[in-house]
């Protein structure tokens, strides 16, 4: 037998059994770290399946109630609401209509949830405009940043009045956090928090979401969402949102931008979240349906990776499934 020196340091000792691996895990998923996105459609009386996102539906107002109750019972941290209106126009009038689908859904969800979880609402115009952009357009067809901020201010007041505890500013307009904070504070909504989508990239992984909200977009959003090639820019955007008063920062998507997520988490003195977007969900579901990957392990690993990179919480369409499995 060879007399070469035997290793003294043996990291494998801590991988020897399932119990040992569980005990020494550095990253854990807890249900309170999970936020469930929910789509609420105006012109339906029952949940409608989203073909590109198996297991995800567009809710009716009635089915939303049960979804929120289930989310609270599972111990989720929150739900993020997206509205799917029956009619759209150039300025997204439905977004500020008290009886618009998102504001109605927010009132229902807030009443159903009570203090059991945080009801959040998407503050962006893309679901409500007939051109599908996240803001209003100028005469040349370009997104007008400052005119859009005025619409965001009005949206913020409508959503706060409806009972949203946390406004998800996802439009990537310059100055949006400062504009919304000023509007909220001016109207006395000092306790309404702002989730800034600080680093949101013009990603190829949003495709299924477009079906989920029945997007009317033609063209792309590259003049306001970030270039996927840029890492430092994500940090710059996060720094600006912190200075403007964001309560929480978001990186979106998660999977392709774990380096940006890590950078922002290193910088931030407020919570940092990440959005595991529709394309990430659809890829795993499609591969698993073909038997190419172990679905359960892939779901768990994907969210673990996001948390490991620095996220304090994750928006994921698997929130309910994970909560049942991890506690």
Check: CB of residue 250 under 8 Å from CB of residue 273. Answer: yes
Matching residue, tokens 């936020």 = 35
Q: How far is Cα 288 from Cα 298, in angstroms, rounded to an integer?
A: 9
**pLDDT tens sequence across 212-258:** 888 888 778 999 999 999 999 999 999 999 999 999 999 999 999 99
pLDDT for residue 104: 98
Answer yes or no: is pLDDT of 182 > 80. yes
Closest CA to 235 of 268, 206, 273: 268
Question: Does 252 participate in catalysis according to the annotation?
Answer: yes
Inside any domain, residue 130: yes
pLDDT for residue 327: 55
193: containing domain = 28-326
Inside any domain, residue 4: no
Answer yes or no: is pLDDT of 122 > 60. yes
Inside any domain, residue 13: no
Q: How far is Cα 184 from Cα 119, in angstroms, rounded to an integer?
A: 17
Catalytic residue among 41, 200, 242, 309: 200
Inside any domain, residue 22: no
- Those residues with Cβ within 8 angstroms of residue 95's Cβ, 6 or more apart along the chain or in another chain: 83, 102, 125, 127, 128, 151, 155, 158
Number of structural domains, the chain? 1
pLDDT for residue 1: 57
Catalytic residue among 88, 107, 181, 252: 252
Inside any domain, residue 173: yes
Q: How sure is the predictor about 124, in pLDDT bands with cuts at 50, 70 and 90?
A: very high
pLDDT for residue 212: 85
Question: Does 65 participate in catalysis according to the annotation?
Answer: no
Check: CB of residue 46 under 8 Å from CB of residue 88. Answer: no
**pTM, to two decimals:** 0.95
Mean pLDDT of 138-165: 97
Helix axis angle for 295-308 and 278-289, nearest 10°, is 150
Inside any domain, residue 97: yes
Could you give phi then psi for residue 143, rounded to 5 degrees? Answer: -70, 120
Inside any domain, residue 192: yes
Inside any domain, residue 23: no
> Any idea what the CATH number is for the domain that residue 75 is in?
3.20.20.70
The distance between the two most distant Cα atoms of the chain, rounded to a whole number of Å, is 83
pLDDT for residue 208: 85
């Amino acid at each position: 037998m060879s007399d070469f020196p035997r290793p003294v340091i043996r990291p494998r000792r801590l991988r020897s059994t399932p119990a040992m691996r569980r005990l020494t895990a550095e990253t854990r998923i807890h249900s309170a770290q999970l936020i469930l996105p929910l789509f609420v459609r105006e012109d339906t009386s029952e949940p409608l399946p989203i073909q590109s996102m198996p297991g995800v539906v567009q809710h009716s107002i009635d089915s939303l109630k049960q979804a929120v109750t289930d989310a609270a019972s599972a111990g989720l941290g929150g739900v993020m609401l997206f509205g799917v209106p029956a009619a759209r126009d150039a300025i997204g009038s439905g977004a500020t209509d008290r009886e618009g689908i998102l504001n109605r859904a927010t009132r229902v969800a807030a009443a159903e949830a009570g203090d059991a979880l945080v009801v959040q609402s998407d503050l962006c115009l893309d679901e409500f405009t007939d051109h599908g952009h996240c803001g209003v357009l100028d005469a040349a067809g370009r997104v007008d940043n400052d005119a859009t901020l005025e619409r965001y201010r009005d949206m913020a007041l409508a959503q706060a009045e409806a009972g949203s505890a946390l406004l998800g500013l996802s439009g990537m307009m310059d100055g949006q956090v400062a504009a919304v904070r000023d509007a909220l504070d001016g109207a006395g909504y000092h306790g309404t928090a702002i989730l800034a989508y600080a680093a949101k990239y013009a990603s190829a992984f949003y495709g299924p979401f477009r079906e989920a909200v029945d997007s009317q977009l033609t063209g792309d959003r590259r003049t306001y969402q970030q270039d996927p090639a840029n890492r430092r820019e994500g940090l710059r955007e996060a720094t600006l949102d912190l200075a403007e008063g964001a309560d929480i920062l978001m990186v979106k998507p998660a999977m392709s931008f774990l380096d940006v997520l890590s950078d922002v988490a290193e910088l931030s003195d407020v919570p940092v979240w990440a959005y595991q977007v529709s394309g990430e969900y659809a890829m795993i579901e499609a591969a698993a349906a073909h038997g190419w990957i172990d679905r359960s392990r892939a779901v768990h690993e994907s969210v673990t990776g996001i948390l490991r990179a620095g996220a304090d919480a994750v928006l994921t369409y698997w929130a309910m499934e994970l909560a049942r499995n991890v506690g």
